[in-house]
Structure formats: C-alpha cells, structure tokens
Structure 1
Amino acid sequence: MKFKKLLKAMYPRRKIKLTLLCMLLVTSVFAQKVIEMEKLNGVYQIPCKVNGIPMKFIFDTGASDVSISYIEAGFLLKQGLLKEDDVLGSVNYKMANGEIREGTKINLKSIDIGGTLLSDINATIVHNLEAPLLLGQTAIDKLGAYTIKENLLIFNDNNEELSLEENDKGYSRLMNFLVKENLIEFVPTSELKDNHDIKNLVKKLDSLTTLKNKDNPITQYELGASYMKLYHEIVQVIDKSKAKEVFYKSVYLLEQACNNKSEDACYELGENYRFAVVENGTIDSKKSIYWYKKGANLGNSLTSSACSHSLGRYYKNSGKDDEAFYWFHKAAVAGQNDSYSELGDCYYYGEGVSKDYEKALYWYEKGVLPNYKKMGDIFYYGGYGITMDFGKAVEYYEKGAANRYYGSNTMLGQMYYLGEHFKVDKRKAFLHYEIDAKKNGHDHAYYMMGLMTYNGEGILTDRKKGFKYYYEAAYRGHSAAQYQVGVSYYYGYGTNIDKAKSASWIEKSFENGYERAKEFWDNKQLWIYKED
C-alpha cells in the first residue's frame, strides 16, 4: 500500500498504468531521468534553462538546431549571458511556409534539462519576434538514447564528456567496440581522438550495443539512427566508398525497426534516401516514398504525420496536386504543424481540391506562424466562401508587416495609394512600399516607388531615383518595370540614352507578358538596336 501511495503522490493527475510507473522507477536506479512535458497545440513543450534562464522549448526532432527568437536573445544579451564571442555569424534557414529567412548562429554555453547539463550547443536566433523556441538535434543528440511515453521524456542521465587524452581506459573501451563491430578501418584513430561529434557517436553506439533487448524497435531505431549519423560524420573525413559499411549497418537496423512498426525508423529511412545518403550519392526517390508511406500508414503519431507531410512535399514538387493534397490533409488532421500552411495553400490556390478561402483561412490560422499576407488577401479579394472585408484584410496585413511577411507592407501601401479602407495618403503609401522593398526586396514595391518618384506622388520628383527604383524592380523580373527601364534608356529619363539597352529591356518586358512593350518595340523599330 505504501508503494501505491508513493506512486499516486508522484503522479496525481496522470492515468498511467502501474506497470509503466514501476518500470520508470526501476530504470531510475540505472541513472535514467524522467521529464514531464506539456502538450500544447499538438506539440510537446519541455522546460529548460538556457544559460541559467528558464524557458519552454518545443521538443522538435525535425529541427537541426536549437532556435530562439529576438526576444529571448535580447534578454540574454542584456543579462550578460550571451556575449560577443558566442555569436558565430549569419545563417539562412527555411520557414515552415517554405520562405528562406536569415538568422544568426550562436553558441549557448548551457542548456539545463531537468538537472542534466548540455554544454556548448549550436543555436540559431530567428529574426522574428514571435518565432517559437525549438529544441532541435544539436541539443537532442547530446541527450543520448531517449524514449517518449505519453508526455514523459526518458533518457540516461549521463553528463560525462569522454576525454580520450585524459582517459586511457575510456579510449581503450571505444577502440575495442570498433574492433568488435568491424568498424576500425572506417573510423580513423585520429578522428576518434580529435572529432568531438564522432567520439560521442561511438560512445553512444557502445552504450546501445550493451543493451540486452536488441529486438526492441526503439533500440533498433536508436542504433540505426546513430549509425546513420556516424556515416554522415565519417564521409566528411574519409572516402565515401570506405564508409559504406556503416551505411549498410544503419539501413539494416532501421529496416528491422520499420518491420517492427517503428515510425521513427521509417521516417529516418525516407529522409536519408530522399537526401541522397547512399554510397554513390544519388537520390533514390522510390525507396524514399516506400518508407515514408510505410511510416505514414503505421498510425497518427507526429512521426507518422511527418512521413505524410514529406510525401505531400514530394508530390507537390512533382506536380501531382491530388496526391499532395491527400498527404497534406492526412498530416494536418494528425496534428503536423508544417502541413497546416501547405493544406491552406491547397485550398487557397485550388491545388488538388476546389478553391475554398474559408477552409484555407481555417488551416492558416492553425499554424504556429500563420501566413498573414495570404490571410489578408483572402479578405481583400473575397470570394470562395469569404465576403470581401478591407478592415479584416488590414488586420492581417498589419500582422504580416510586423512579422516581415513578403508583400504585407506592399498591400498596405496599395490601400493607402488607392484609398481603400484608408483615406488616400501617398506619403504613407510610399513609406509602406519602401519597407517591403528594402527589407524584403519586393519587386512591385520597388516598381511603385519608381512610379511615385517619377511623378512626385508622396515624395519629391526625382527621375534619377525613380529610374534606380524601376531598375531594382526590373532586375527582379517585374515586367512593367522592365518596360519603364527600356523607355527610360530610349529617351534618357533619369539615365543616359542607350538604345541597345532600351531594346534589351523592352524585349524582356514583352517576353514576360507586358503587352505595351510589344507596341513600343514596333513603333520605335527597336530591332535595329538589338545586340547579337
């Protein structure tokens, strides 16, 4: 009875079977740690301390790095917990909606997860005030082998860093492991001594191979995934053909786990074949799709839904909209955040399904970072189940502008320029266009700045500046701007007369669908000036 009371005291609000709790208590004898996570909007959040400051991160096995937003980074800087030496440079990363954004690479001195201290973690500052905090693989990998039971994270509490220079016994143990597993020729001694990532992976593999139940799909997955990570590391320092044995070991173990219904293993295989992790470096789409589908059909977990999402991306890129819609819908219904925006796009553009702005809006709103620009467009244009509403459009465009969504400021500029919802205010229109042009490189924003500067609308007339703005838009492919640049070169508006350049830009404009360019080409007989 005392034992049962103890269990109730530890887990008063959890409906967990007694056998599972017994297992957790027994495994704690073997230095395992159990952390309770909070499930919010279909994802798990885990409490951590970053450089001593408490934060809550999304436990995201699909993210390569730990990421924080400007807000957390600014606080750490003000407290002196993030120093100049910790800033490693700029990096580009891909948003869930497919946009490429710039971030800042940093080093976090420590992340404390329930008393387990992880040191020197690579992280990214996302240049967005509302970006979620993600605990990615740069931290998760350092936890070693882990499992998730309901909302509980279970992992070995092992903070020891193996120093091969100072610990001959530890070095000997790892060498023995490599010999036993026939890996000694694939992992050079020098790399085992000097390469921190390879050293820790070998250490993790050594630990996993000592587990008794190797037929357990979790163990098979952890072994297979670790071998695949080791393959990634060693192909960078030795010949690929020599590393293929590690690749084959990984695939063998992961396939075993897949056949034992491990969704994680299926996803791992799908990803690796998708990104050309084979000995000859070629992508094998058929195998990738096979394993994604196997994982997707195993259930409705987040990992299964990640397989479905990847299938959706594959079919979308292949132009098979019906297939893409099916898999995005399956993933989104199962709670895959990345698929919300993709499914919203399917309804927004009518790809694989009839256009339906109401459903597009529903799925956009579920996203962690909703596509405010498209949500604004839904109310700006109306139709397909939504009544036109400029007021609602402005609400979303302003949110999009605050989050630097491409085109949001341009639409606000247009509404000030045309007097839609707002009174006509050319100065405010120009300022909005300027923000989108200079921060996001928006072609139409540059075009409008050129038009307004040429004509003195909301700003002093200046044809040289106007030509500069037109040129920026033309360079980005804006057909009307290409026409204006061609006309400017022909007459010398804001630039020197150059008939050859005029012919080149007018021709580009027409090829990009601007009809007035063909008329100008014919009237001025610009073919005379066309350069061979």
Structure 2
Amino acid sequence: MFCKNCGAKIADKSAFCSICGAKQDNINLVKTGVNESTDEEIYQEDLKKKKKRLLILGAVIAIFAAGVFCVNNSITAGPQIGFSTKLQAILGDAEAEYKIANSLHGAEKFMWLEKSASKGHADAQAELGYCYYSGEGAVKDFKEALKWFQRAADNGSVYGQFRMGWAYSNGEGVAKDQKLAVSWYKKAADNGNTAAMNNLAVCYANGEGVAKDTKKSFELYQEASEKGNLLSTLNLARAYELGEGTNIDKKKAFELYKKVASKDSTLYSDEDKEYVARGIYNVGKMYFWGNGVEKNYEEAVKYFNLAKNQGNMDALCGLGIAYYFGQGVPVDREQGKKLVREASERGHARAKSLLKLM
C-alpha cells in the first residue's frame, strides 16, 4: 500500500507512514488467529508498552539518583573523593577507606584509618600510628603508635619502617636503641624513603648506632637531596661549608642554601616550611660573613628579615646583631638588644649568651 500523504510505499496494514508519519485512513483488519484488531488498537497497545517501559526506566533512574544522593551525603569526605570511592568504602573496601581518611583531618580521619588499618592496609596502619604519635584525632600514645608502626612495617610500609627507626632513635614508646634505629632506617632508605636516608646519614655523621663515616653520610645526604628532601639539602650544604665527608666548598654551600631558600613555602608541610626558613637564614648568614659569596650586609639583613617573619630564631638573633653593630642598618643598640632578648625568651641558646655581652 501507499501513503495517502507522501505517496511512499509502506507495509500493508500500517496505520502510520514510516516516511512522513501521516496516519492512514484505510485501516484494515488484522487476523490474530483469535481476535481481530484495528491498526489503531495495535498502535495504542504499543504506545502503552512504551510508556510502561519509560516509567520503569524513570523509576530505576530515580532509585539510582536517590542512592547516589544517600551515599554522597552519608559520608563526609574531601571534594576529590567521588561516588564510586564512597560506595566502595560503604562496602568495606580498605583502599577506599584509606583514600577517604587522607581527604580528612582529626577525628574523622582517625575513624576511617581505623577501619582500613583493621583490614590490614599497611599505609593506613602507618598513618594510624602517626595519629597516635601526634595526637591527631586521638589521645597521644607512643606505645599504641609503635604497635601500629610495627604492624605497618611488617606489612611492607616504608613509612612504617622509617617510623620504627624514629621510635628507637628517640626512645618513644620503646627503649632507646640506636643500633635498631639504624637497622630500620636502612630498610626504609633501601626502599627509597628520603627522610630515612637523611636520618641514617646523621647516624653515620655522629657515629650513632654505627661506625662514624662522614663520607657515607655525605653520600646519603646527596642522594636524598637529589630526590627532593629539603632537610638533606640543608645538611649537604653544611657538609660543603664545613668540609664534612667532602672538600670545603663554600660557594657550593651557598648555592644549596639558596636553592632551599627559593622554594615557595606555601606549597610545603609545616615541617618543610621550617626548612625553607632555615635555608633563607643561612643565605643571610653567608652574605653577612662573606662565605661563598661577596660580603653584603644589606642582603644579609634582607634575608634575616624574611627568615624572621617565617619564625626562624637564628634569623631573629642575627638581625639583633646587625642592629646592635649597625651592619646593613643604622646602629640601634636598643633594637638590637630587643631582638636578641626576644630570641632568648623563645629558647634560643646562643641568644642567651649574646645577651650577656650586650
């Protein structure tokens, strides 16, 4: 048959044209074997089925959306945590629980770390140990911290290995044992932990728990520094400055101090911010004494001020000396004494001695 509207050939018994969609007048009867139905009735029946399917699909979508809403709102997490991670955490996935913990702080972080750590997640165990160590979300408890550090280390956590070394080195939660500290630091350092490399270097430099070896110490500082550890870069600079494990090279020392000083401290942890401030102070110190760079009191004062503003007590003391003797600034003995006194009151040992001479 042909469409009454566009003339296109369409299937017999069709109520509508498949080309232009026009309704056909010549409705024929369709033999069903039992009843006879018109094309209009068939069309309406198909329409009902389509509506039913759409309603079912809509209901499924609504239920899914409600589920997403409930999951998203039932878990507090950082903005980087998506629905799938939250859903996995609800289902008890340790990795998802650990990810959520790392997006939080305080008690909420501690709660999720506990969940993940109890399932054997090594990194969560190490982080949980640090919560007990630092008191974040929990009461400080060095013994409990050590327990979790040990579990983490046994499960292969490099951070856990480093923390075991730290605990034995400082006698926190366990009797102080420098040999065991060195053993744990070696394990963590061999696994690439730069903080462990630095602390192991300190052990070699001082002969603590291991035979003194300044050359080995220098090499470890160098390796950790190359991998971005700021404290190791400062210690490497000091080694060049004093000739510990290497030849004296004050120019190289100045370059390394300036490398640390140039870092944007806002991008670092509080601990690393302190190292940046220390780097800034040391640049000022090198300018002040003319070590590795031409002596320049004005530059020294500039760097002392920058470091002082970041909380460095050495810089506060150095600035006091500059004012007291008028080096880089006009002589102002009262201001000089005031600055050194402030450093002394805040626990700076050298400032206490200097104050007696002013």
TM-score normalised by the chain length of structure 1: 0.45
1:457 aligns to what SS in structure 2? coil
Residue 332 (structure 1) aligned with residue 117 (structure 2) = no
**Distance of aligned partners of 1:314 and 1:459 in 2 relative to their CA distance in 1, 3 Å threshold:** closer
**Distance of aligned partners of 1:314 and 1:413 in 2 relative to their CA distance in 1, 3 Å threshold:** closer
Q: Is the 8 A contact 2:257 2:283 kept in 1?
A: yes
- Taking the aligned partners of 1:360 and 1:291, their CA distance within structure 2 comes to 27
Deviations for 1:345-369, whole angstroms, at most 9, x for unmatched residues? 3234332232333223233225344
Gaps of 5+ in 1: 1-167, 188-226, 237-245, 277-281, 525-532
- Pick aligned residue for 2:97 from 246, 251, 268: 268
Q: How does 1:310-459 map to 2 (within 5 A)?
A: 310-318=127-135, 319-353=140-174, 354-356=176-178, 357-371=181-195, 372-384=197-209, 386-439=210-263, 442-459=276-293
Deviations for 1:458-512, whole angstroms, at most 9, x for unmatched residues? 2211110121222233333332321121122233310234566535422331123
**Distance of aligned partners of 1:181 and 1:366 in 2 relative to their CA distance in 1, 3 Å threshold:** same
**Distance of aligned partners of 1:273 and 1:514 in 2 relative to their CA distance in 1, 3 Å threshold:** closer
- Pick aligned residue for 1:507 from 314, 325, 341: 341
**Distance of aligned partners of 1:288 and 1:274 in 2 relative to their CA distance in 1, 3 Å threshold:** farther
- Taking the aligned partners of 1:340 and 1:170, their CA distance within structure 2 comes to 59
- Taking the aligned partners of 2:258 and 2:78, their CA distance within structure 1 comes to 47
Q: Is the 8 A contact 1:270 1:290 kept in 2?
A: no
**Distance of aligned partners of 1:480 and 1:313 in 2 relative to their CA distance in 1, 3 Å threshold:** closer
- Percent of aligned positions with the same letter in both sequences? 22
Deviations for 1:13-52, whole angstroms, at most 9, x for unmatched residues? xxxxxxxxxxxxxxxxxxxxxxxxxxxxxxxxxxxxxxxx
**Distance of aligned partners of 1:183 and 1:470 in 2 relative to their CA distance in 1, 3 Å threshold:** same
**Distance of aligned partners of 1:335 and 1:174 in 2 relative to their CA distance in 1, 3 Å threshold:** farther
1:183 aligns to what SS in structure 2? helix
2:187 aligns to what SS in structure 1? helix
Corresponding residue of 2:59 = 176
Corresponding residue of 1:471 = 305
- Taking the aligned partners of 2:239 and 2:59, their CA distance within structure 1 comes to 71
What is the identity, as a one-letter code, of the residue corresponding to 1:511? Answer: E
What is the identity, as a one-letter code, of the residue corresponding to 2:133? Answer: K
Gaps of 5+ in 2: 1-50, 266-274
Shift of 1:268: 2.7
Corresponding residue of 1:82 = none
Structure 1 or 2: larger helix share?
2
Q: Highest CA radius of gyration, 1 or 2?
A: 2
1:407 aligns to what SS in structure 2? helix
What is the identity, as a one-letter code, of the residue corresponding to 1:342? Answer: R
TM-score normalised by the chain length of structure 2: 0.64
**Distance of aligned partners of 1:173 and 1:235 in 2 relative to their CA distance in 1, 3 Å threshold:** farther
**Distance of aligned partners of 1:350 and 1:175 in 2 relative to their CA distance in 1, 3 Å threshold:** farther
**Distance of aligned partners of 1:309 and 1:523 in 2 relative to their CA distance in 1, 3 Å threshold:** closer
Corresponding residue of 1:164 = none
**Distance of aligned partners of 1:337 and 1:416 in 2 relative to their CA distance in 1, 3 Å threshold:** closer
Q: Is the 8 A contact 2:113 2:124 kept in 1?
A: no
User: Which structure's relative contact order is higher, taking Cα pairs within 8 Å and 6+ residues apart?
Assistant: 1
**Distance of aligned partners of 1:273 and 1:383 in 2 relative to their CA distance in 1, 3 Å threshold:** closer
Shift of 1:272: 6.1
- Taking the aligned partners of 1:468 and 1:235, their CA distance within structure 2 comes to 39
> What's the RMSD between the two structures over aligned residues?
4.1
* Equivalent residue pairs, number: 285
Q: Is the 8 A contact 1:453 1:466 kept in 2?
A: yes
